[in-house]
Amino acid sequence: MGLLSFFNKEIAMDLGTANTVVIFEDQVVCDEPSIVAFDKTTRKLMAVGKQAQQMDGKINPNIETIRPLRGGVIADFDMAQHMIRELIRMASVSRSFMPPSLRMVIGIPSGITPVEQRAVIEAAEQAGAKEIKLIHEPMAAAIGIGINVLEPCGHMIVDIGGGTAEIAVISLGGIVCNKSIRIAGDEFNKNIIDYMRQQQNLVIGVRTAERVKWEVGSAISELENPPEDYATLGRDQVTGLPKEILVNYKEIAHALDKSISTIEQGVLDTLANTPPELAADIYKTGIYLAGGGALLRGLDQRIALKTHLPVHISDDPLRAVARGTGIALKNFNQFSFLIK
């Protein structure tokens, strides 16, 4: 066992647009932003994850930061491969440069194309993986939440990540109907940036928009326990000088309204395509929210009001997909829904 386990490693990876989580031996060993920094001249990798994120927007002309994944899929193959390799190294999966034999299960969006699937597999292979299987994120989220996905019962999952909102109805180990919308956390950040520029004449960056979203982000304009106004720093669009303004949750609810309405419509469309017997199940079981977007204040209330169904937020929704991917890894040869 000792020598064999040294040469054979198994890891699960939630390859997310915003964050990538690596699970090894049932433990989260790496949770880093999906961003890399590199030298533009030599294309040499300089930093990955939190270190690269700290450099974002504050670098000299010779250094560039990039997020290799956009909309849940690989946008820059070379940098994605380097990022995967470096995250595996950071996770201390092996003391050597790369384990001789690495088995991986990777979470992917349900709306991914075969070409995009192949890009994920090839990036993992280039990073050293010998055996790779993929799992759709809504299925992984359902497993991570604790749902028995193999039972003959319908469950609806709404997984709102950084690049996509994955909406799926699951039964008997399969996705019966689904919708993948490329509106999620990144689009929320863009909405906030646009609102601040248009309504407040304040220019802010993505990192600041992310902080605003966490501090005062809301899906509804009336909260029982509203957060305090958040002091936001940026550049005045008129004078060009640094400026601070206070932002409240009602403003952010207004800024995010259109994007959230699109997700709501995606939920309604998926319900409309659900077979009647499974729709009856969902009436009883409700809708489960996962992903970072599930933490947006009032989102559960808004979807419940729109669908007239109970809405549940999973425990630790940020890692629901990662947990489910890890469970799928442990049952690598049993789950028929794992795809190559």
- The 10s digit of each residue's pLDDT in 127-149 is 778 888 899 999 999 999 999 99
Q: Does pLDDT of 100 surpass 60?
A: no
pLDDT (mean) for 35-58:
86
CA distance 284 to 309: 8
Reading the block at residue 271, the tokens are 């319900």
E strands, the chain, in order: 8-15, 19-24, 27-33, 36-39, 45-48, 63-66, 69-70, 73-74, 101-108, 131-136, 155-160, 165-171, 174-181, 202-203, 230-236, 242-247, 287-290, 311-313
CA distance 91 to 24: 8
What is the reported pLDDT for 7?
55
CA distance 179 to 269: 8
CA 196, 197, 199, 201 torsion-angle sign = positive
What is the reported pLDDT for 340?
56
What is the reported pLDDT for 24?
86
Q: Among the listed ranges 67-76, 210-219, 267-276, 288-297, which one has the minimum average pLDDT value?
A: 67-76
What is the reported pLDDT for 93?
59
CA distance 328 to 84: 19
What is the reported pLDDT for 233?
95
- Which pTM was predicted? 0.88
- At residue 128's C-alpha, the angle toward residues 92 and 321, to 5°, is 65
Q: Does pLDDT of 333 surpass 90?
A: no
Q: Are 15 and 69 in contact (CB under 8 A)?
A: yes
93 vs 50: which has the higher pLDDT = 50
Arithmetic mean of pLDDT over the chain: 88
Reading the block at residue 237, the tokens are 């669009």
C-alpha 69: how far from chain center: 10
What is the reported pLDDT for 2?
46
What is the reported pLDDT for 90?
80
Listed ranges 63-67, 160-164, 208-212; the one with the highest mean pLDDT:
208-212
Q: Among the listed ranges 60-64, 105-109, 204-208, 317-321, which one has the minimum average pLDDT value?
A: 60-64
User: How do 73-74 and 69-70 pair as beta strands?
Assistant: antiparallel
What is the reported pLDDT for 4?
44
Q: Are 20 and 294 in contact (CB under 8 A)?
A: no
How does pLDDT run across 233-245, given as a tens digit for each residue? 999 999 999 999 9
CA 164, 169, 174, 177 torsion-angle sign = negative
CA distance 243 to 10: 49
Distances (CA, A) of 49 to 54, 80, 129, 275: 9, 12, 20, 42
Q: Does pLDDT of 170 surpass 60?
A: yes
Helices marked H in 62-205 — which ranges? Answer: 77-90, 114-126, 137-145, 185-200
308 vs 123: which has the higher pLDDT = 308
Q: Are 286 and 314 in contact (CB under 8 A)?
A: no
CA distance 82 to 36: 9
pLDDT (mean) for 94-111:
70
Q: Which residue has the tokens 């709102």?
A: 160
In the chain, pLDDT over 90 holds for what percent of residues? 51
SS3 231: strand
- Closest among 131, 132, 134, 129 to 112, alpha carbons compared: 134
What is the reported pLDDT for 261?
97
Q: How confident is the model at residue 98 (pLDDT cuts 50, 70, 90)?
A: very low
What is the reported pLDDT for 109?
84
